[in-house]
């Protein structure tokens, strides 16, 4: 099928408009593709390990100066960045659609999230405070001080090609830390564009040290340089649990800090009292939105047996009617999968589910949505007799496994019986059920919601999950503490030297 928009020239137009130098993307050594058609859009220049090391050294030099700039002044740079993002929203959002395949409202939504975190970080720049603590010794004062930490390495995944970086960067910058970013090799162009937008803010800011924000391009080998470099104090890594299993121990070996934001296998529980109209919309967006390629995508649904027959057929109809297509040329709600490997992974999981008795709606390739090089699929709903096989793993594609449950305790147990612990939801109007779900005996996830879906978190909360999701928290609340070091200070303003715990040491 012939596509109307020439993606190569459209990509070039946006990169040019946003000020990304041609040398970075025109004739480089790494091809960049759009999942919308599968065609090549650019050839980016990768960073060599030596260059990456030099950039990390430069970031460390920047740190020495930036840590001394008052935090509210650092916030001013982030404020300007937010302004530049507002001005570039349309273009960057469209580039997200071209490079990651998100539908336009989600591409723009991702940029909005970047703007939101900038606003949050600007306010935060005046709130980086510690506690004062009652001292047991007379004439003493105890307090804690938060200091900048050092160079922050950011490794990001393809599915949030720019928002994840900005969550880290806006916070790191106000905390006094420079950032070196290794974006996904599947989405280097949006990274170059985001960096170019940031550089506009830098120019307006005036006197920031060089090397505050830098991008290194390449595959995991260049990410490893970031992970292993002694001058990178913290690595915030977003991606698969497989990646986290490699990165986590390497960081631990050199006692560096890590924020790991890894895979999810998110579940929802639909209780007898649920508002089923609302639940239907929440489940449909959570499971099919972003073509199932969000870390918070709804992947498992436990429906109470008393409402199963009234709810699940309606959900199946929504699956049958959802529009799948080219996000740039149609108003489809479901865009493409990122690549062929994602499609094959989805088909394999569906086959495995079928072998275990799964009854499948959808899941087939939609060839008329794009050329052979693009991978569009109908989202799959699989009714499973039990939670087994592929249901226990994250398949990064739109597959929703639906199962019946009888009592809530059993449903919560099933929900928690997977290795990941990112996001979860309960749909109920019963206050006891909702509170049990949110209690210590309830969901074991980093995100637990009532009457909204598993995906679409706001930046104001701390984002992240437990178990094999890695335990990291980023974005809002007090996640900023991960980007700073804490010093406990005790000050003696008396004329005596009383020792703590009544110890005597008279010389
Ligand atoms: P991926 O793990 O293949 O790659 C993620 C990033 O890690 C890429 O930049 C990659 O180059 C880099 N990388 C991989 N191995 C590395 C290594 N050994 N050392 C250094 N860097 C390495 O993930 P993906 O396919 O891009 O993204 C999908 C996955 O990301 C899913 O599992 C999804 O759930 C997860 N994800 C999690 C969150 C979250 O916040 N928890 C958010 C988005 C995506």
Q: Verify whether ligand 1 is closer than 6 Å to residue 224 (CB atom).
A: yes
Residue 82 in this model has a pLDDT that exceeds 60: yes
pLDDT at 331 over 70: yes
The count of other CB atoms within 10 Å of the CB of residue 435 is: 13
pLDDT tens-digit readout, 100-118: 999 999 999 999 999 999 9
Q: Is 184 in the pocket of ligand 1 (CB under 6 A)?
A: yes
- Which is the closest atom of ligand 1 to the Cα of 186? 26
Q: Calculate how far, in angstroms, residue 498's C-alpha sits from the geometric centre of ligand 1.
A: 52
For ligand 1, whether the C-beta of 240 sits within 6 Å is: yes
Cβ atoms 186, 72 nearer than 8 A: no
Within 13 Å and on the Cβ side, how many CA atoms surround 294? 28
Ligand 1 centroid – CA 191 distance (Å) = 15
Helices (H) and strands (E) in the chain, counts: 14, 21
Reported confidence tier of residue 5, pLDDT bands at 50, 70, 90: confident
Query: What per-residue confidence (pLDDT) applies to 328?
Result: 97
pLDDT for 53-75, tens place per residue?
A: 999 999 999 999 999 999 999 99
- Whether ligand 1 lies within 6 angstroms of the CB of 455 is answered as no
With a 6 Å cutoff on the Cβ, whether 391 touches ligand 1 is no
Closest residue by CA, ligand 1 atom 40: 261
- Tell me the CA–centroid distance for residue 168 and ligand 1, in Å: 15
- What average pLDDT does this structure show over 335-341? 98
261 lines ligand 1 (CB under 6 A): yes
Mean pLDDT of 286-294: 98
Q: Specify the ligand 1 atom closest to the Cα of 263.
A: 34
Cut 0.95: pTM above it: yes
Evaluate: CB of 339 within 6 angstroms of ligand 1: no
Residue 507 has pLDDT above 90, yes or no: no
Instruction: For residue 444, name the pLDDT band (cuts at 50, 70, 90).
Output: very high
Q: Nearest C-alpha to atom 16 of ligand 1 is from which residue?
A: 220
Residue whose Cα lies nearest atom 7 of ligand 1: it is: 239
Pocket test for ligand 1, best of 35, 49, 240 (most atoms within 8 A of CB): 240
pLDDT at 417: 98
Q: What angle do CA 383, 318, 353 make, to 5 degrees?
A: 20
Closest CA to ligand 1's atom 22: 220
pLDDT digits (tens, 9 = 90+) for 161-189: 999 999 999 999 999 999 999 999 999 99
Q: Is 479 in the pocket of ligand 1 (CB under 6 A)?
A: no
Backbone angles phi, psi at 18, to 5 degrees: -80, -5
Instruction: Please provide the average confidence, as pLDDT, over all residues in the chain.
Output: 97
Coil, strand or helix at 260: strand
Test site for ligand 1: of 156, 239, 421, most ligand atoms within 8 A of the Cβ: 239
- CA atoms of 222 and 243, how far apart (whole Å): 13
Q: What is the secondary structure of 346-390 as a DSSP string?
A: HHHHHHHHHHTT-EEE---B-GGGS-TTS--B--EEEE-SSS-GG
Catalytic residues: 261, 295
Residue nearest to atom 39 of ligand 1 (CA): 261
Percent of the chain surpassing pLDDT 90: 98
* Ligand 1 contact, 220 CB (< 6 A): yes
pLDDT for res 2: 56
Cα–ligand 1 centroid distance for 502 (angstroms): 52
Q: Return the sign of the alpha-carbon dihedral for residues 62, 64, 66, 69.
A: negative
User: Of all protein residues, whose CA lies closest to atom 30 belonging to ligand 1?
Assistant: 239
């Amino acid at each position: 099928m012939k596509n109307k928009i020439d993606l190569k020239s459209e990509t070039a137009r946006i990169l040019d408009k946003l000020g990304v130098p041609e040398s970075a993307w025109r004739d480089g050594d790494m091809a960049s593709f759009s999942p919308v058609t599968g065609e090549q859009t650019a050839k980016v220049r990768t960073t060599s390990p030596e260059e990456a090391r030099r950039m990390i050294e430069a970031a460390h030099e920047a740190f020495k100066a930036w840590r001394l700039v008052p935090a509210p002044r650092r916030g001013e740079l982030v404020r300007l960045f937010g302004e530049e993002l507002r001005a570039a929203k349309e273009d960057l959002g469209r580039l997200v659609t071209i490079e990651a395949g998100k539908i336009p409202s989600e591409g723009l939504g991702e940029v909005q999230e970047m703007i939101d975190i900038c606003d949050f970080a600007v306010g935060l720049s005046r709130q980086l405070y510690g506690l004062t603590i009652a001292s047991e010794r007379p004439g003493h004062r105890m307090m804690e001080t938060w200091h900048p930490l050092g160079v922050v390495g950011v490794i990001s995944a393809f599915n949030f090609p720019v928002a994840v970086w900005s969550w880290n960067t806006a916070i790191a910058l106000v905390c006094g830390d420079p950032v070196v970013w290794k974006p996904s090799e599947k989405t280097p162009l949006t990274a170059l564009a985001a960096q170019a937008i940031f550089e506009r803010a830098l120019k307006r800011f005036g006197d920031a040290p060089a090397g505050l924000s830098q991008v290194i391009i390449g595959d995991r080998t260049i990410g490893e340089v970031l992970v292993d470099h002694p001058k990178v104090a913290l690595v915030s890594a977003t991606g698969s649990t497989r990646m986290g299993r490699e990165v986590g121990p390497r960081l631990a070996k050199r006692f560096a800090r890590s924020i790991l934001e890894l895979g999810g296998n998110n579940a929802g529980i639909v209780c007898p009292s649920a508002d089923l109209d609302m639940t239907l919309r929440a489940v449909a967006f959570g499971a099919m939105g972003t073509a199932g390629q969000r870390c918070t995508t709804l992947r498992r649904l436990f429906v109470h047996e008393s409402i199963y027959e009234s709810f699940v057929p309606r959900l199946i109809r929504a699956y049958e009617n959802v529009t799948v297509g080219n996000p740039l040329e149609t108003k489809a709600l479901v865009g493409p999968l990122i690549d062929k490997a994602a499609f094959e992974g989805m088909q394999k999981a569906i086959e495995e589910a079928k072998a275990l008795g799964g009854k499948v709606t959808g899941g087939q390739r939609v060839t008329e949505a794009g050329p052979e090089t693009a991978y569009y699929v109908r989202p799959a709903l699989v009714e499973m007799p039990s939670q087994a096989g592929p249901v226990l793993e994250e398949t990064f594609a739109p597959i929703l496994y639906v199962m019946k449950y009888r009592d809530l305790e059993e449903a919560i147990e099933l929900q928690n019986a997977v290795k990941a612990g990112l996001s979860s939801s309960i749909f109920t109007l019963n206050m006891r059920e909702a509170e049990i779900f949110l209690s210590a005996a309830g969901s074991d996830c980093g995100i637990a919601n009532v009457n909204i879906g598993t995906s679409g978190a706001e930046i104001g909360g701390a984002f992240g999950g437990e178990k094999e999701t890695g335990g990291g928290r980023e974005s809002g609340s007090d996640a900023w503490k991960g980007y700073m070091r804490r010093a406990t200070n005790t000050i003696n303003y008396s004329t005596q030297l009383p020792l703590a715990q009544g110890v005597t040491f008279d010389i």
